[in-house]
């Protein structure tokens, strides 16, 4: 028992000491699981399933129990006309009715429910796509700030090392006190920049947890999302495009539903039970009745034509929106691809500059130790190096965000 307990404690401590590393997929998956919007779409789909079952159940014969009880007294010659009210009435009936020849109506109503279900499912896919893009974008922002923090830490360590060297050289009168103080000011500014970046990093990391629905205040090192630009596929399979197709199906079905209202309607009904006014042998008034109700539309002021025209306007508007959206999407992809190539060229150019700057700093450090370089020139070379490294980070983060957008529009 003690051995088992020791193993359990070791495993538990190991889990605490080495928590599962968070990456882009873990944040995205958490956001999808915790999204109340996606839960709402799931509920809509479940509700529509019951709507279909309810509609199918309504097609069966509907049986109801009905009771009407009336007493209309005539007092002193005053009261309702007995010829109309019969004085009193007691009824207790079981009635049933069933619509006939409604196959077209059933098909259109079921099609309407099916389209609603497809729309809810497609909207869920669009929301899922939006959530993935939003979380990935925030993750990239945090990762970029993490890269800057890592670099700033290296810079601070390097400046601390240089500070000890310069301080000694200043004490030995190799450099002026004013030159050294200028270096100290730059170092303090760098420390302040790092401190501000830490605050922003923690804030954006908390925002990432918030978007994913994660309740956690710990901050862990995030790995590179390593996003690759997905191939631009057939846009017709995209949920963004699918919505226009579903809207078209809905409008076509709306026309069918309008036409259904102008079809003849036949309804059978029957009842059985007790119905009596007690005027004559009330005990014999047990019986039954059957009937048929027929409704044929004849003229309604051309409302059918006007409703069709109204739907035609909506269809033209849908087509215009679809065409505009496709053009906008294609233009967006072309611009993103252009930006992607631009950032790659910039990164390559800046990396070449960094190599020269690093070489220059190495040479300047040797000259610094002997006092053969002006301190202002050394500070300038450091500043150029810091700027170039930050530009590489910014362009890399921009590149990741462009790829994230491309993957969104390319699906």
Q: Which of 49-63, 275-289, 381-395 has the lowest mean pLDDT?
A: 275-289
Summarize pLDDT for 211-236 with one digit per residue, the tens: 999 998 889 999 999 888 766 766 77
Summarize pLDDT for 171-204 with one digit per residue, the tens: 888 888 888 888 888 899 999 999 999 999 999 9
Q: How far apart are the first and last CA of the chain?
A: 56
Summarize pLDDT for 59-94 with one digit per residue, the tens: 888 889 888 888 888 888 898 878 777 778 888 888
Structure tokens at 263: 């079809």
Other beta carbons within 10 angstroms of residue 375's beta carbon come to 20
8 Å CB contact between 64 and 94: yes
8 Å CB contact between 364 and 319: no
Residue 271: its pLDDT value, please?
A: 86
Residue 20: its pLDDT value, please?
A: 59
Summarize pLDDT for 118-154 with one digit per residue, the tens: 999 999 999 999 999 999 999 999 999 999 999 999 9
8 Å CB contact between 365 and 168: no
Return d(Cα 393, Cα 399) in angstroms, integer: 10
Summarize pLDDT for 84-124 with one digit per residue, the tens: 777 788 888 888 888 876 788 888 888 999 999 999 999 99
Residue 7: its pLDDT value, please?
A: 41
Residue 378: its pLDDT value, please?
A: 84
Residue with structure tokens 């997905």?
A: 230
Return d(Cα 184, Cα 261) in angstroms, integer: 85
What is the SS3 assignment for 227? Answer: coil
What is the SS3 assignment for 289? Answer: strand
Q: What is the per-residue burial (b if ≥16 Cβ within 10 Å, else e) of 14-31?
A: eeeeeeeebbbeebbebb
Residue 272's H or E segment, with its range, is: strand 265-276
pLDDT mean over 264-288: 84
What is the SS3 assignment for 43? Answer: helix
Classify residue 267 by burial, with Cβ atoms within 10 Å: 0-12, 13-18, 19+.
Answer: middle
Q: Which of 74-78, 277-281, 344-348 has the lowest mean pLDDT?
A: 277-281
Can you give the length of the chain in residues?
Answer: 411
pLDDT mean over 237-249: 91
Return d(Cα 215, Cα 208) in angstroms, integer: 11
Measured in degrees and rounded to the nearest 5, phi and psi for residue 87 equal 80, -45
Query: What domains can you pick out in the chain, each with its CATH number?
Result: 19-59+102-262+300-410 (1.20.1600.10), 61-100+264-296 (2.20.200)
């Amino acid at each position: 028992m003690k051995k088992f307990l020791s193993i359990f404690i070791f495993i538990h401590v190991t889990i605490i000491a080495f928590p599962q590393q968070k990456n882009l997929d873990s944040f995205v998956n958490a956001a999808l699981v915790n999204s109340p919007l996606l839960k709402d779409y799931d509920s809509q789909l479940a509700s529509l399933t019951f709507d279909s079952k309810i509609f199918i159940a309504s097609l069966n014969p509907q049986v109801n129990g009905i009771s009407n009880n009336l007493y209309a007294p005539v007092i002193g010659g005053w009261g309702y006309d007995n010829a109309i009210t019969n004085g009193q009435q007691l009824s207790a009936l079981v009635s049933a009715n069933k619509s006939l020849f409604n196959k077209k109506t059933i098909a259109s109503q079921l099609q309407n429910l099916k389209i609603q279900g497809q729309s809810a499912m497609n909207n869920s896919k669009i929301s899922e796509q939006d959530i993935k893009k939003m979380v990935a974008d925030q993750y990239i922002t945090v990762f970029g700030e993490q890269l800057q923090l890592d670099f700033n830490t290296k810079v601070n360590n390097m400046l601390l090392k240089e500070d000890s060297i310069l301080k000694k050289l200043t004490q030995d009168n190799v450099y002026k006190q004013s030159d050294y103080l200028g270096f100290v000011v730059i170092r303090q500014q760098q420390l302040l920049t790092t401190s501000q970046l830490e605050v922003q990093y923690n804030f954006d990391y908390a925002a990432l947890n918030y978007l994913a629905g994660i309740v956690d205040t710990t901050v862990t090192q995030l790995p590179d999302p390593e996003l690759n630009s997905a191939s631009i596929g057939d846009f017709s399979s995209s949920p963004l495009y699918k919505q226009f197709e579903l809207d078209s199906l809905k409008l076509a079905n709306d026309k069918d539903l309008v036409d259904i209202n102008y079809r003849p309607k036949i309804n059978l009904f029957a009842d059985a039970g007790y119905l009596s006014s007690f005027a004559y042998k009330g005990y014999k008034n047990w019986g039954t009745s059957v009937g048929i109700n027929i409704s044929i539309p004849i003229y309604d002021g051309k409302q059918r034509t006007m409703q069709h025209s109204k739907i035609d306007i909506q269809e033209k508007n849908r087509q215009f929106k679809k065409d505009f959206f496709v053009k906008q999407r294609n233009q967006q992809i072309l611009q993103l691809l252009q930006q992607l190539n631009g950032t790659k060229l910039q990164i390559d150019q800046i990396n070449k500059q960094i190599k020269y700057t690093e070489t220059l700093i190495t040479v300047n450090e040797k000259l610094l130790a002997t006092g053969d370089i002006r301190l202002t020139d050394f500070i300038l070379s450091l500043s150029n190096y810091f700027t170039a490294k930050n530009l590489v980070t910014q362009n890399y983060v921009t590149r990741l965000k462009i790829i994230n957008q491309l993957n969104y529009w390319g699906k």
